[in-house]
A and B are shown apart, each in its own frame.
Chain A
Amino acid sequence: ETGVTQSPTHLIKTRGQQVTLRCSSQSGHNTVSWYQQALGQGPQFIFQYYREEENGRGNFPPRFSGLQFPNYSSELNVNALELDDSALYLCASSYSGLPFETQYFGPGTRLLVL
C-alpha cells in the first residue's frame, strides 16, 4: 500500500510568482485535504476535495485554489505569492467511506517565498 506522496519537497519562489504543489493520495482514498503550517504553528486547514469537488474551505483567500483529478491526486495552486505564504504545505488523504476515519499526512512541501 502506497502512502501519501507530495512533490516537490522544497521550493523557492519570489513574491508575485505562482506555484503548484502536487499530492498523490494513499491507495483507496478519495478525499484530499490541504493544510498550511507556518514555522512553529499548528497546521491550518486550506480546503478539502472529495471526488473532484471542493468539500470545504478554511480562511484562505481565493488566490489559493485547488484541483482533484479522477485518480484522486490533487494540486494546490497559489497565485501572487506573498512572503507570508512561506510555510510547510501538507496534504492529507482519507477514505470517506469509513465511519471514523483518520487523515494520513504526506511528507509536505516546504515553500520559501523571497
Chain B
Amino acid sequence: ELKVEQNPLFLSMQEGKNYTIYCNYSTTSDRLYWYRQDPGKSLESLFVLLSNGAVKQEGRLMASLDTKARLSTLHITAAVHDLSATYFCAVTTSGTYKYIFGTGTRLKVLA
C-alpha cells in the first residue's frame, strides 16, 4: 500500500529564513503534487511534478522530485508571513486518479 510521509509536521520559522519540507513515498508513483491549505479553507494546487529531476518554482517556493529516492522537497526561500499555511504533498498510483496525501506540514512564519 502506498504511504506518504512528510517532515517536519510542524515548522515555525522567522521571516527571511530558508527551509525545506520533505515528502517521502513508499512505492513507485506516476506523479507528485504539492498543495497549500489555509485554516478552514480548501486545497490550492501549487505544483505538479511529473518526472525524475523535475524542478518547479513559483515565487519563494521551489519543488523538486527524485523518483529514485522516492523523495520530493518543497524549499522555501526568504520566508514571509503570507506563506503561513499547511502544505501537503500527494502522489498518485499507476492507472488511478486516487491521490494519497501526506500528513501535512503546518508552517508558521513569524514576523
Contacts and interface: CB of A to CB of B under 8 A. Distances in A.
Contacts of B4: 42
Contacts of A105: 35, 42-45
Interface string B35-52: 100000111110010100
A58 B45 CA distance: 22
Interface in B46-76: 48, 50
12 contacts: A31-B97, A42-B88, A45-B100, A48-B96, A48-B97, A58-B98, A96-B97, A103-B97, A105-B42, A107-B41, A108-B41, A108-B42
B25 interface: no
Nearest to A57: B98
B104 A103 contact: no
A38 B48 CA distance: 24
B20 interface: no
Q: Indicate the member of A41, A42, A43 with the most B CB atoms within 10 Å.
A: A42
B-side interface size class: 20 to 34
B103 A106 contact: no
Interface of B: 4, 31, 33, 35, 41-45, 48, 50, 88, 90, 96-104
Interface of A: 31, 33, 35, 40-45, 48, 55-56, 58, 90, 92, 94, 96, 100-108
Contact of A43 (B31, B41, B45, B101): B101
A33 B97 CA distance: 9
B104 A41 contact: yes
A56 B101 CA distance: 16
Contacts of A48: 96-98
A25 to B, nearest CB: 13
Contact of A56 (B41, B98, B103): B98
A69 B31 CA distance: 29
A33 B101 CA distance: 14
Contacts of A35: 99, 101
Nearest to A59: B1
**Sorted from nearest, which 4 A-B pairs have the closest CB atoms?**
A42-B101, A105-B43, A105-B42, A107-B42
